[in-house]
Amino acid sequence: MTEVSSQEWLAAVEAVEREGFDYFDWLGCVDEIGRRDCFRIVLVVRNLTASAEPRMLSCSLPRDDPRIQTVRGVFAGAAWHEREVAELFGVEFIGGDGSRLLLSPEFEGRPLRKDEVLAARTALNWPGAKEPGEDGNLAEAGETSASPSRRRMVPPGVPDPAVWGDRDARQPAAEPAEVAESAVGGRVRRRRT
């Protein structure tokens, strides 16, 4: 994979197209929060006349102002991919089509950003939310107490309640990176006091 700067992005894409890699395959975005504070744009192009490996270009963009030149003038098929990335990650493609593609016009947010809290995942019941003993029907189940080794589970994408949600209102708000780090799903960690 070849790393290029955002200023060199369009020129680098035009250069690989002139080298014979004129078949657009894919363009996407990776949220690298937790490793680096940026988004990575990845472009894959192919040369169908030669048995060459696909060429991959990537570019890092800052999270606070993710902007990059559109490549739809070089590869028309990239327009759809750019619109998807713009809508789901909030990356601005300068000179690109800014219209909505997948989400309703009323939707606010960027659902594929790792620091985006998916409120619907916290509001809906998730299979496994009820653990033995939580429903109050211990006698019906023939149990006398809940298993001490069982703790509440949360689905992936829902932050730890101690970080986001039903946390102590006197605590300062969690940083986006802290929320993203806690949204891995699994067992709810015990609250720190």
pLDDT in tens, 55-75: 999 999 999 999 999 999 999
| 104 in a structural domain | no
Q: For position 177, what pLDDT does the model report?
A: 76
Q: How many domains does the chain have?
A: 2
The answer to whether residue 107 is domain-embedded is no
Report the distance separating Cα 42 and Cα 94, nearest Å: 16
Say yes or no to pLDDT of 136 above 60: no
Structural domain for 84, as ranges: 2-94
Q: Give the pLDDT score at 78.
A: 96
Q: 193 and 161 in one domain? A: yes
Chain centroid offset of residue 42 CA: 14
| One domain for residues 7 and 82 | yes
Query: In this predicted model, what pLDDT tens digit does every residue of 145-189 receive, in sequence order?
Result: 444 555 566 666 677 767 776 667 787 877 777 777 776 665 555
CA 43 from centre of chain: 17
Q: Residue 5 in 3-state DSSP? A: coil
**Cα–Cα dist 117/128, whole Å:** 20
Q: What is the pTM of this model?
A: 0.65
Task: Give me 12's structure tokens.
Answer: 């680098």
Cα four-point dihedral sign 115, 116, 119, 125:
negative
- Contact predicate 55/2, CB 8 Å: yes
Look at residue 103 and tell me if it is in a domain. no
Question: Does residue 141 belong to any structural domain of this protein?
Answer: yes
End-to-end CA distance of the chain: 46
Q: Is residue 99 part of a domain?
A: no
Q: Which 8-state DSSP code applies to residue 48?
A: T
Note whether 121 and 158 are within 8 A (CB): yes
